[in-house]
Amino acid sequence: MRLRSKRLGTSTGGGAGGDGSSGAADSTTADEAAVPTPAAKPPAKRKPEDIGIPALLLGGGAAVADIAAAADAVDQLPLRTAGFTATTLKSACDYLAARDPRLLPFIQEFPADRLLRKADDGNFATLAKAIVFQQLATGAAAAIYARVLQACDCTDVLTPEAVLAAPLPALRAAGLSERKASYIADLADYFSSGRLSDDKINAMDEAELEEALTAVRGIGLWTVHMHAMFHLGSPDVLPVGDLGVRRGMQHLYQFKELPTAAEMEEVSECWRPYRSLGSYYMWKVDAPRAASSKKSKKRKKA
């Protein structure tokens, strides 16, 4: 996920020479000055699919000059518009396999259907569940979340109204820490008041999503990245703070140490605008190494 920055032009000031003089223009005659200078030809533009970017990702096939321009265009789309569908995910896999052959074995072995965008609603429930699961083992977190649903009189989907109606002691009794209970209540208040909504989130681009969600207590950049990748299906997220992605990149690209954010940006530049997909396969790179490590520990204990 890349924040956009404005590029500011520079001005030398004081005429063509940049030092207050008019430079060579002093010797130009009136007749010569009247001759128009031929306009420079703009760079040729191609259809997105001609450079491996599905037209659907660019909101209907806007012409682009090159891959970098296409990736920038994706980053500026509303997240729901750019979210992976089965068609664009298949195209992204083919594109990444060609751009970075080291990913090919993982693309062939591991389907990436988890990155498909989910239903248009459910942002609140997904974010609330993410808060519950923070810093907990999956099994313990799932049990607590099930009890939170019961405490809020919800069956499958948690709603802002149900959270705000539930007494704090009931949320605490479900297993939430006081801090997490306050975080979920804060999130519910954002949705109940209209500061956040499914429609608003679906219309945000990446920079807007980061700003809006990190304003909620208990939601940091990592949670925003995971929500963008696995709920909204955003194709171009690079979670530089995720340890699994960093370990996978270290192993596959042979870094001596865990890569820095800048090094991750450099490695993944060739993945754009599909850094979500490349990041997903970094988790797969790390999985075999983690499994072998666990086996060696068992042998030592035996």
CATH code of the domain in which 188 resides: 1.10.340.30
pLDDT tops 60 at residue 300: no
Same domain, residue pair 68 and 163: no
Nearest CA to 235 among 113, 57, 102? 57
Per-residue pLDDT at 291 exceeds 90 = no
Last residue of a domain, one of 207, 230, 253: 230
Return the pLDDT at 226: 95
Which residue, 181, 197, 230, sits at the end of a domain? 230
Same domain for 165 and 198, yes or no, is yes
Residue 111 reports pLDDT greater than 80? yes
Number of domains in the chain: 2
The DSSP bridge partners found for residue 64 are 46
Supply the pLDDT for residue 79.
74
Counting residues of the chain whose pLDDT is more than 70, the rounded percentage is: 72
Winning range, highest mean pLDDT, from 38-42, 65-69, 221-225: 221-225
In a shared domain, residues 195 and 283: no
pLDDT of 55 > 90? The answer is no
pLDDT reported for residue 35: 53
For residue 255, the model assigns a pLDDT of 94
Domain boundary among the residues 187, 211, 230 is at 230
Label residue 37 by pLDDT band (50, 70, 90): low
Of the candidates 227, 232, 125, 140, the one whose C-alpha atom is nearest the C-alpha of residue 184 is 125
Burial classification of residue 119, based on how many CB atoms lie within 10 Å of its CB (0-12 exposed, 13-18 middle, 19 or more buried)? exposed
For residues 113 and 241, membership in a common domain is answered with yes
Is 40 contained in some domain? no
User: Are 139 and 201 found together in one domain?
Assistant: yes
Answer yes or no: do 141 and 110 share one domain. no
Please name the amino acid found at residue 260.
Answer: T
| pLDDT over 70 at 11, yes or no | no
Residue for token pair 């509303």? 78
Residue 293, pLDDT above cutoff 50: no
Domain that holds residue 187: 123-230
Q: Is residue 203 part of a domain?
A: yes
Q: How far apart are CA 13 and CA 43, in angstroms?
A: 28
Cα separation, 228 vs 223, in Å, equals 9
Closest CA to 252 of 96, 72, 52: 96
* Full-model pTM: 0.74
- State whether 141 and 72 are in the same domain: no
pLDDT for residue 136 is more than 80: yes
Residue 247 lies in a domain: yes
- Least trusted range by pLDDT, from 76-90, 182-196, 237-251: 76-90
Residue 138 CA neighbour count, 13 Å, CB half:
0
The pLDDT tens digits for 64-104 are 556 677 777 777 777 777 788 888 888 889 889 989 999 99
For position 272, which CATH number holds? Answer: 1.10.1670.40
For the record, the structure tokens of 123 come out as: 């942002």
Distance CA 227, CA 125 (A): 11
- Band (121; pLDDT cuts 50, 70, 90): confident
Q: Is residue 225 part of a domain?
A: yes
Q: Does 59 share its domain with 155?
A: no
Q: pLDDT per residue over 141-185, tens digit each? A: 999 999 999 999 998 899 999 999 999 999 999 999 999 999 999
Are 197 and 237 in the same domain? no
193, 269: one domain: no
pLDDT: is 80 or 254 the higher one? 254
- Give the count of beta carbons closer than 10 Å to the beta carbon of residue 40: 6
Q: Is residue 15 situated within a structural domain?
A: no
Cα–Cα nearest to 179, from 170, 168, 190: 168
88 within 8 A of 54, measured Cβ to Cβ:
yes
